[in-house]
């Protein structure tokens, strides 16, 4: 029986994933796995029994990754599960910002109780004229699961699309429309785009990639859309750009004190993945990954461990979390050989300082064999499945 703790409300679609071998609750004290969305785990105490944490979403800023890596806790996320929801919000943002819809609706609401509203609307609507997006250039920074969907949709809306991603995967490249132009540098995006949308992860290299220097290279009257991470944008640089007219609109899904109420800033209350479909997709994906790891030791979409997937072979399976140092495989095979246990299959992968091994054997291992493994330097966690 595996105990699964839910630290947030999670879609009940997971009930079809976890069978009678799982106890899924909001209050188990010693879980084998944890499912969460936005709950902050930075100050959350975890027990030694915890094997994995699955975040129902892409961002993992609410999880102390380095600390969990040292404790050999696998952290999963669900990249792409909410991609369509974010894509739709970005497309909505394109039109909201171009056609001045937000300010227009706000103005109409001020007419309540005044005479002849239809006449006032007809005379006042000219203040909200805005351009169509057809024929305009959209620059996309980051062509992952979300950026690639936006690129193809923008092509279908008759926009000129520039995409910049130095780490573009082959799988994504195959799915991109042939009409998406490959920008060789971010400079091309900045200088040629009427609209710029961000779809890169937040890290030390991407923090503030839209800064004063970047804004200075942009076309006059550019619109910037940020449904990725608030920290990708230097808010002071954007506000300065708005005041000078360099930036026409800034649409962000990450409201903060300095942006709320600023003219020509549209602040959306973090609705990117707030659809029932996205929440269901993320929950199901997270549950499947967690279940496969607990039952089979397979790792898919981990942010701190390497992808390691091996079909079952032999009679029994052992998984080994260890430091990425020489000699561990030799030590593992020697221990098994000393017990006259034949290895049916072995797979070892690494990521940075961590490595992970799946070993299938042709006979059952003795119960005390784990102690022999833990005596070896560099071994962090053993599981026999």
Active-site residue (options: 55, 199, 229, 322) = 229
Could you give the angle at the alpha carbon of 43 between the alpha carbons of 257 and 202, nearest 5°? 50
* CA 94 – CA 5 distance, rounded (Å): 39
Give the burial string for 370-379 (b: 16+ CB within 10 Å, else e).
bebbeeeeeb
* Catalytic residue list contains 132: no
Tokens representing 355 are: 């490595």
Q: What residues contact residue 300 under an 8 Å CB cut-off, 6+ apart? A: 76, 289, 292, 307, 309
Point out the catalytic residue in the list 88, 99, 179, 270.
270
The CA distance from 343 to 326, in Å, is: 20
Please work out, in degrees rounded to the nearest 5, the angle formed at the alpha carbon of residue 317 by the alpha carbons of 313 and 319.
Answer: 130
Q: One of 132, 258, 277, 353 is an active-site residue; which one?
A: 258
The first and second tokens of residue 163, run together, are 């995409």
* Residue 322 known to be catalytic: no
Inter-CA distances, 236 with 25, 213, 233, 263, 293, Å: 44, 12, 9, 14, 44
Polymer length in residues for the chain? 385
Contact 332, 357 (CB under 8 A): yes
317 included as an active-site residue: no
Chain centroid, CA 303 distance in Å: 10
Indicate which residues carry an active-site annotation.
229, 258, 270
């Amino acid at each position: 029986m595996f105990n699964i703790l839910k630290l947030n409300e999670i879609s009940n679609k997971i009930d079809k994933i976890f069978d009678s071998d799982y106890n899924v609750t909001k209050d188990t004290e010693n879980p084998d796995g944890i499912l969460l969305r936005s709950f902050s785990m930075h100050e959350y105490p975890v027990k030694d029994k915890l094997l994995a944490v699955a975040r129902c979403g892409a961002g993992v800023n609410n999880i102390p990754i380095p600390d969990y890596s040292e404790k050999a806790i696998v952290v999963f996320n669900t990249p792409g599960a909410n991609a369509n929801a974010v894509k739709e919000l970005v497309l909505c943002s394109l039109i909201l910002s171009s056609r001045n819809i937000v300010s227009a609706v706000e103005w109409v609401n001020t007419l309540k109780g005044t005479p002849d509203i239809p006449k006032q609307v007809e005379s006042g609507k000219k203040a909200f004229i805005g351009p169509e997006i057809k024929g305009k250039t959209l620059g996309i920074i980051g062509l992952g699961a979300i950026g690639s969907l936006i690129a193809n949709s923008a092509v279908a809306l008759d926009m000129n699309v520039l995409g910049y991603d130095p780490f573009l995967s082959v799988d994504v490249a195959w799915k991109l429309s042939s009409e998406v132009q490959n920008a060789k540098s971010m400079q091309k995006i900045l200088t040629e785009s009427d609209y710029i949308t961000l779809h890169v992860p937040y890290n030390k290299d991407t923090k503030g990639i839209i800064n004063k220097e970047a804004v200075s290279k942009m076309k006059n009257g550019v619109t910037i859309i940020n449904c990725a991470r608030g920290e990708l944008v230097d808010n002071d640089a954007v506000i300065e750009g708005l005041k000078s007219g360099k930036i026409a609109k800034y649409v962000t899904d990450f409201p903060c004190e300095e942006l709320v109420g600023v003219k020509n800033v549209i602040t959306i209350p973090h609705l990117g993945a707030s659809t029932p479909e996205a929440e269901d997709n993320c929950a199901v994906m997270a549950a499947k990954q967690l279940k496969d790891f607990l039952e089979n030791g397979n790792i898919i979409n981990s942010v701190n461990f390497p992808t390691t997937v091996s079909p079952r072979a032999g009679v029994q399976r052992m998984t080994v979390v260890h430091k990425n140092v020489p000699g561990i495989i030799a030590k593992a095979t020697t221990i098994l050989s000393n017990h006259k246990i034949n290895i049916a299959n072995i797979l070892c992968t690494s990521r940075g300082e961590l490595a992970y091994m799946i070993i299938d054997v042709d006979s059952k291992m003795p119960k005390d064999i784990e102690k022999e493994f833990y005596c070896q330097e560099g071994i962090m966690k053993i599981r026999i499945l």
